[in-house]
Amino acid sequence: MLDYAAASRFVPLGLSFSPIRGPEGNIEYLIWLRSVEDGEDMPAEVTAETARAVVAAAHETLAGGKEMKRFLLFVNRRKERADEKAKAIREQLLRLGAQRVDIEDQSTRGITALDYDCVVTLGGDGTLIRAARGLAGSGLPLAGINLGHMGYLTVASKDAEIPRVLDKLILDDFTVEERMMLRGRIIRNGHESPRDREWLALNEIVVSRKSSAGPVHFCIYVNGAFLNEYKADGIIISTPTGSTAYNLSAGGPIIDPVARMTVLTPICPHSLYRASIVLRAEDVLEVRIPLEEGGHAER
């Protein structure tokens, strides 16, 4: 910020921080700038050393709201060196001041903010998505460390990046992004089957053909009103987070991951019209498959 001010012909006269966190729990800083006229020599009253001192004071003052001392490492043990990485990260967190660091490899279901302050996943995007389903509604922040091939949702992918991430968690130097999820359920022949249950998705819900060689007839309803129909291999209902996954491969748009909306994208539709449809997060989507095609209504 100081370099940008100098390049824009402004001189910083003062720097402080807000005593109240921002809407996403972030720390907000206030800087006073004065424009410098041509030929005017006015020394800056805020130096890099002063700025570092203000940032340190801000974190020390506001640390109580989100201080992280209890961590759960959710590990995908099928990844190479997963156990070794988990033990090393546990030791580093404890050295940095963590009070409790547990390792889990089965499920995050039932874990709440009463148990931990943060969950760190060790695996790939799939590991993070599985953890997110179990943690839905818990209010626990989730950070991912990539040990696999796909790490678009993770915050560190190289060994050299991991210490920096752990430092930021311990020092309260991070911002929490809230991501929307989808809730889906299956209705067969007009009735909810006892063997079916609700599904949560961080990326997308896909309704596709099971064994048929040809396209399936899908009828789309939004809030009970008919919207469109497709002859296609399937339908993708994506969150903004999942817009860069299967949705993108099927030709759908990329959405800001913190936005609140739903993207409906047909998979290989037998039609000249194949554009995705963007809907509100609050809308209820129904994907119906006519019974004469051997399908079931899906929601």
Q: Which of the residues are catalytic?
A: 125
Q: Is 92 helix (H, G, I), strand (E, B) or coil?
A: helix
Q: Which of 232, 205, 200 minimizes the C-alpha distance to 219?
A: 232
User: How many Å apart are CA 28 and CA 153, to the nearest integer?
Assistant: 25
Query: Which of 227, 211, 240 is closest to 288 using CA atoms?
Result: 227
Contact partners, residue 209, CB within 8 Å, separation at least 6 = 215, 216, 233, 234
- HEC profile for 167-231? HHHHCCCCCCCCCCCEEECECECCECCCCCCCEEECCEEEEECCCCCCCEEEEEEECCEEEEEEE
d(CA 105, CA 75): 5
- Angle formed by the axes of helices 82-96 and 162-170, nearest 10°: 40
| Burial (CB count <10 Å: 0-12, 13-18, 19+), residue 150 | middle
Q: Which residues contact 193 (CB under 8 A, 6 or more apart)?
A: 186
Largest CA distance in the chain: 82
